[in-house]
Amino acid sequence: MFLSVAFVAAMAGDSNTGIVAQFFDPAWNVEHRYIIWPAIVIILFLSGFGVPLPEDVPLTLSGFTTTKLLNDQFVFSAFALTFIIVVVPILSGDIVAYSLGRRFGFGLRDRSKIIASAITDKGLARVSRWFDQYGNFTVFLGRQVAGVRFVTFYTAGAMRMKLIKFIFFDFMGCFVSVPVWLTLGHMAAMYGKIWLDEASKRVGTGFLVGTAAAAVLLFLFAKYRSFRQERR
């Protein structure tokens, strides 16, 4: 029980704290992997559901733990399995947020202080502008921005976006972002926590550029499909 509480506290705190560093300690990680994996799954689910916990730390820890399980080797099939293990709870939590919006709509903000605190006027206005400008691609963009994920997914449900489209764009968001953190975890296992701390400071710009490029490609692909359908 203490380890579970400590892990939750670590996920909510700064990545430079001693608690988080302990999870990235090779010997400690290997010894406690039986509790690390369930905790990762729970944290990722709660994060998608709207609990203010960062996803980057458990995702990076997933890559780190996978590498240690493989004796510091990179095996594509193992990392593909890890990708599935972490994406399933992420999508599950996101679908819960989507389902709440679809079931109750924005009126729930007036009846629930928790929902009202999660869906602020500022956040809702921001996401609404995105839906006006980018349509369904907003779900992809919202997956990349920690502060508006729940608002984005809840709004998608309230706007009656089709579930299959929601899952597709949400998965594409995971497909772009999750491998980045898994790779950082792998590199941290190979080169140490100090390397991870330095790399994390630089990953932001490259990550945003990659996300923007992927969004442009997806947008152009959707426009191309729409153009072909109109011609038909």
Q: What b/e sequence results for 96-134 when a residue is b if at least 16 CB atoms lie within 10 Å of its CB, and e otherwise? A: bbbebbbebeeebbeeeeebeebbeeebbebbeebbeeb
Mean pLDDT over residues 219-230, rounded? 62
Split at pLDDT 50, 70, 90, the class of 5 is: very low
> What is the domain range of residue 19?
2-231
Residue 117 is predicted with a pLDDT of 84
What tokens were used for 208? 């945003």
By three-state DSSP, how is residue 232 classified?
coil
Residue 72 carries which side chain, given as an amino acid letter? D
Residue 216 is predicted with a pLDDT of 61
Q: What is the pLDDT of residues 89-122, one digit of tens each?
A: 999 999 999 999 999 998 888 888 888 888 888 8
Residue 45 is predicted with a pLDDT of 93
d(CA 182, CA 115): 31
Mean pLDDT over residues 203-224, rounded? 58
How many domains is the chain built from? Answer: 1
Kindly report the three-state secondary structure assignment for every residue of 10-70: HHHCCCCCHHHHHHCCHHHHHHCHHHHHHHHHHHHHHHHHCCCCCCHHHHHHHHHHHHHHC
Closest C-alpha to 115, from 103, 129, 131: 103
Which is higher by pLDDT, 49 or 221?
49
Q: Are 183 and 63 in contact (CB under 8 A)?
A: yes
What tokens were used for 45? 């689910």
